[in-house]
Structure 1
Amino acid sequence: MRKDVYERMRYFVRENIKPNYSAIARQYGVDPRTVKAAYLRAINDEATVRKQSKRHSKLDGYQDIIEDKYTAGCSARAIFDFIVEKGFTGKYTIVKDYCRNFRKTQTKKATIRVEHTIGLSAQVDWKEKITMTDRNGVPHTFSIFLYVLPYSKFKFLKLTLDQKQDTLFKYLFEAFKATGGLPKEIWFDNMSTVVDHKSSDFHHHRFNERFLSFSHDAGFHPIACRPFRPQTKGCVEALARTMNRLKPYDGEFSTINDLNDIVNRLANRLNHEKSQSNNQKPIELWAKEKEHFRSLNHDLVRCFDSDQTRKVSRDSMIRFQNHQYSVSPNYIGKEVEIKPTTDGKAIHIFYQGVEIQKHDLTNRQFNYDPRDKRAILKSDLMKDKTDEEIDKYMLNDLSIYDQIGE
């Protein structure tokens, strides 16, 4: 029996994934019956290993904690002290030996190349709280939504100013559109917008109900990665490290829109560069992989484009989809409701059920209604000027759009 096929089936058994015999057979150039035989053998071998490991040990109930903490870089002594506080009654030497054997096992596993099945999965994470400075010395803190297809290594990146659940849903939807459909399963980090931490424990995750509803409507199977196990989502972890390639642009952009363009260009370059793991361009493998994806349910927009509330900033602005839109200064500090139009081209802004403003959605960072702009100027920068002087200033100096928002 081919060892590579068997090892692949062992991975499926351990991760409790039902393999597609035909797809894997095409990938490895074998008969589907060979794949099935390897899968059944892997199930039997795994059952035997589990049965043999049922002998009573003082480490029982602590092995997972030891492995997770050791993988996270903790020393055997630190782990021993940690589990003693949790009731462990064994000696330090048992923990030290377990850590040594675990390291040897992981080193051996690392030499076995894992082949990803075409169209099977995607991995999702955030590159959190990156701070870069623009040409004027103003710092901008942002995050990047990361979506990668392990088989083709095709990447989708999106700059975002928050990590809310609506933002996650919106960029998942955009990722599905950009990559041509949905894989069967998506791996997520242990993020609060996905996992209900109050109902979960260290070993078992319970998904957030709203997220589960979204995944069901979209048609993918969500999988939550265990804490301190970065190897389970290695592709997206590697992509997060690649975001260091943004550093040369520190101090080289003017607005957040410029920075967004830089992120988009980086994604395009990454998809046209040969991957170190397979020496192939992601864009070329993706052209084949997208044929295996499920079709996108465009009705998903209702999951994140529903009515939303925002607090009006001191600049008399509300933020929507990473852009800012004006309202009257009378509403500074108050909660307003945003309702997108059905065509997604405009928003209506309400306060206590009364519409107070409407804006067309644009790509500009700051968007002002002339009446709001006049009121903002009169309340602060030009409070001693007449309406005529303010109108003349607005006509002669279009740069006021940027000046007010700084």
Structure 2
Amino acid sequence: MLAVAEINYIRHEVNKKDSNYSEIGKRLGRDPRTVKKYAEQDDFSPVEKIKQDRPSPVMDPIKHIVDEWLLEDFKQKKKFRRTAKRIWEQLKEEFDFKGSDRTVRNYISQRKKELLNEASQAALSLESKPGSAQVDFGEAPFKYQGEQITLPYLVLSYPYSNSFYFQVFPAQNKECFLEGLKRIFHHMGGVPKTIRFDNLSAAVKKILPNGERQLTEEFQNFVLHYGFESEFCNPNSGNEKGHVEAMVKYVRNNYLLPGLHVLNLDELNKTLWEKAEKDRERNHYEKESFISQLFEEDRKAFLVLPSKEYQCIRYETVKADKYGYIKVEKNLYSTSPRYALNKVLIRISYNSIDILTDDYQLVVSHARLYGQYRKSINWQPYLNLMAKRPMALKYTSFYEQLPQEWQTYFNSCTSSEKSEALKLLGTVMKDYDFSKITEALKIALEHGHPSVESIKQVFYQLINGRGIREEVHLQKSLPIMPEATRGLQHYNQLLKGAEIN
């Protein structure tokens, strides 16, 4: 193609000065036919260049194999992907490939760009591509200990297949949110490529003016661990995750109403996997396929799970009050008297609060409380302190929580016996609950008011599996003794039946 200046000159000379094509061609050193072409051309719109697909007899038979390998590798972290050299070697080993290393390298370099471009375009439409998901919380009524309570449940839905998973939790905090996602990932055996979220506080600390999000540290680490791409809805735009919002309602109406009786959330959640999977045995509302078949296409597009599960915990340092209690979200947890008015390291998960030493050794563990202004007390660290003030025992809430057998026993103890018994409980409760030591007390009480040493001996017999020795009962009457008489006839009895040599 001629330069723009040359084309302008030709069109000026022909159209304005009526010069002929030959003269202009001589001046420019161009063929008159070329001059004629540009002088008469009417359309200068850009023309699409048609890419010529040249046949490649060496690569064509194995291109689809390389493509499959590249797609498989895209599910892995980069350090786990095959190099072009390794793919070339694998082709030689498994398919007797005769092409060169450079031929494979060139194809892979170009094909990776094409596949990555396709993947980035696919991510624009979450509702229609396999391997993408949406997340949201819902709420439902449950019955616990005769009362009706409201609990949240986390739903992870898959718009392509119209399938879902869900788990029930005591709250919508960071730990429950991440624990729910982790459970679902590991149950499925894979991780969705892209997950769309609302701007929930468990993931987003702040929405910045330019539309970007300042994420919580825990969520950032979780995303890095599992490698998925996170997307967030615009503020007040719930329709951008309309699939999961519809699925939240579907789950509540079909599986959580009327309110379920719940004693243990972990046991309840184990039953929910099967309910979600059984729901897939129906036709998709638009596509003429079972949801279970479409979900397999979702599953094929999932990323590979990392080798280790993410630990959904966080660490905090808080100050204990003068009684050794710490506060986590308006609830109190006991530590140990030695931590009174000192800073304490704690480990927080969705269902536990662990008190740790500076080198992360466990001091005491509590079940995590939900609600407000509740108190969890583990008395074991306080018992040695109580042993120094045994007369104050009756005025503590620990005394009120004791089994009746122990209350009765302490009421009949001297001050020194109370002190020794509290020390024994302090030792035992490091590794055991009240059941065995109370059983030992019951056995020891059968013979009257026992000493602390007696209770201790019975306890260790119980835990070592030796049981309790049976008592020795005297016979009601002694055996009849022969009448004492003089003479040697008694010795004859010894010789009866004896052989005399």
Larger radius of gyration: 2
Higher relative contact order (CA 8 A, sep 6+): 1
Q: TM-score, normalised by structure 1?
A: 0.50
